[in-house]
């Protein structure tokens, strides 16, 4: 799991060949989103970002799943065309429940997540 409080513009912020965040100043700068459950508030920027998610997926460097506070069209459309499970509007705030390295099971069809190693101290 990879968590950021920064929004992501897939066009420009992420290298479609490697899945590495290339935007200096982004909280995830230099980190790879490949195979991660990527938690971010929402997408932003160019609508071409939807296609970049598709390209990440074709290059096998896409996130395994995505969790948003509230999805907007760029990421929602990108997730569908790439077959990446996406959930949003969870009943509880993912930023208080989840931490980097958490293991979760995502059910994109029903919009819910199951936390495998929940830390009760949170």
**Which C-beta is closer to other proteins: that of 3 or that of 52?**
52
Q: Does 33 bind other proteins (CB under 8 A)?
A: no
Residues 78, 66: Cα–Cα separation, whole Å: 11
Q: Does 76 bind other proteins (CB under 8 A)?
A: yes
Sign of CA dihedral 67, 68, 71, 77: negative
Q: Does 73 bind other proteins (CB under 8 A)?
A: yes
Using CB under 8 A, which of 55, 69, 95, 97 touches other proteins?
A: 55
Q: Can 7 be counted among the known catalytic residues?
A: no
Comparing C-alpha atoms, which of 39, 34, 26 is closest to residue 92?
Answer: 39
Residues noted as catalytic = 46
């Amino acid at each position: 799991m990879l968590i950021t409080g920064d929004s992501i513009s897939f066009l420009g912020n992420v290298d479609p060949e490697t899945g590495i965040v290339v935007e200096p100043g982004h909280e995830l700068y230099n980190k790879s989103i490949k195979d991660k459950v990527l938690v971010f508030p929402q997408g932003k920027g160019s609508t071409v970002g939807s296609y970049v998610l598709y390209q990440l997926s074709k290059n096998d460097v896409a996130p395994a799943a995505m969790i948003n506070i509230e999805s907007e069209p760029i990421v929602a459309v990108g997730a569908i065309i790439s077959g990446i499970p996406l959930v949003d509007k969870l009943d509880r705030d993912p930023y208080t429940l989840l931490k980097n390295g958490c293991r979760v099971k995502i059910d994109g069809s029903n919009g819910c997540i199951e936390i495998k190693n929940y830390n009760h101290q949170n």
